[in-house]
Amino acid sequence: MNSEGRQGLLVLYASQTGNAIDVAERVGREAERGGCPSVEVFSMDAFDASCLSKEQIVVFVVSTTGQGDNPPAMKVFWKFLLQRNLSHHWLEGLHYAVFGLGDSGYQKYNFTAKKLDKRLMDLGAEPIIEKGLGDDQHPSGYEGALDPWLFSLWRKLNQMNSMVLPRVSDIYDTSRKTLGHPKYQITYHCSNDLQSDFSSTSGSYQFQDLNGFDKIVTRARSMSSVPQHIGDSMQHCSLRMVTNMPLTKHDPNRDVRHFEFEFLSSRCQYQVGDVLEILPTQNTVAVDAFIKRCDLDPDCYITVQPNANKKESFEPHLNAFASPIKLKTFVALTMDINSASPRRFFFEVMSFYAAAEHEKEKLQYFTSSEGRDDLYQYNQKERRTVLEALEDFPSVQIPFEWLVQLVPPLRTRAFSISSSPLAHPNQVHLTVSVVSWTTPYKRKRRGLCSFWLAGLDPHDNRENFVPAWIHRGSLHPPPPSLPLILIGPGTGCAPFRAFVEERAAQRESGPTAPILFFFGCRNQESDFLYKNFWLYEAQKGVLSAEKGGGFFVAFSRDQPSKIYVQHKMKEQSGRIWSLLISGAAIYLSGSSTKMPADVTSALEEIIADETSSSKDSAARWLKRLERAGKFQIEAWS
| 450 annotated among ligand-binding-site residues | yes
| 522 annotated among ligand-binding-site residues | no
| 310 annotated among ligand-binding-site residues | no
| 16 annotated among ligand-binding-site residues | yes
Measured CA to CA in angstroms, residue 261 lies from 418, 508, 582 at distances of 11, 25, 38
| 122 annotated among ligand-binding-site residues | no
| 369 annotated among ligand-binding-site residues | no
Beta bridge partners of 39: 9
| 447 annotated among ligand-binding-site residues | yes
| 591 annotated among ligand-binding-site residues | no
Following CA atoms 299, 303, 307, 313 in sequence, which dihedral angle do they give, to the nearest 10 degrees?
110
Q: Which helix (H) or strand (E) holds 428?
A: strand 427-433
| 136 annotated among ligand-binding-site residues | yes
Alpha carbons 159 and 165: distance in angstroms, whole number: 9
| 566 annotated among ligand-binding-site residues | yes
Q: What is the maximum alpha-carbon separation in the chain?
A: 80
| 334 annotated among ligand-binding-site residues | no
| 174 annotated among ligand-binding-site residues | no
The DSSP line for 113-173 is HHHHHHHHHHTT-EESSPPEEEETTSTTTTHHHHHHHHHHHHHHHHHH-TTTSPPHHHHT-
The burial class, CB within 10 Å (0-12 / 13-18 / 19+), for 36 is: buried
What percentage of the chain's residues is helix, strand, coil (to nearest 5)?
35, 20, 45
| 383 annotated among ligand-binding-site residues | yes
| 176 annotated among ligand-binding-site residues | no
| 541 annotated among ligand-binding-site residues | no
Print burial letters for 349-365: b (CB count within 10 Å at least 16), e (below 16). bbbebbeeeebbebbbe
| 549 annotated among ligand-binding-site residues | no
Following CA atoms 524, 529, 535, 538 in sequence, which dihedral angle do they give, to the nearest 10 degrees?
-110
| 438 annotated among ligand-binding-site residues | no
| 66 annotated among ligand-binding-site residues | yes
User: Are the C-beta atoms of 528 and 246 separated by less than 8 Å?
Assistant: no
| 365 annotated among ligand-binding-site residues | no
DSSP count for the chain of H helices, then E strands = 20, 24
Parallel/antiparallel/unpaired status of strands 235-246 and 256-263:
antiparallel
Parallel/antiparallel/unpaired status of strands 550-555 and 515-521:
parallel
User: Are the C-beta atoms of 482 and 585 separated by less than 8 Å?
Assistant: yes
| 22 annotated among ligand-binding-site residues | no
Alpha carbons 492 and 527: distance in angstroms, whole number: 13
User: Are the C-beta atoms of 412 and 452 separated by less than 8 Å?
Assistant: no
Radius of gyration of the chain (CA): 26
| 19 annotated among ligand-binding-site residues | yes
User: Are the C-beta atoms of 395 and 254 separated by less than 8 Å?
Assistant: no
| 598 annotated among ligand-binding-site residues | yes
| 449 annotated among ligand-binding-site residues | yes
| 15 annotated among ligand-binding-site residues | yes
120 phi/psi in degrees, rounded to 5: -60, -40
Annotated binding site for FMN: 15-20, 63-66, 136
Annotated binding site for NADP(+): 491, 556-557, 562-566, 598
Annotated binding site: 15-20, 63-66, 136, 383, 413-416, 447-450, 491, 556-557, 562-566, 598, 636
Annotated binding site for FAD: 383, 413-416, 447-450, 636
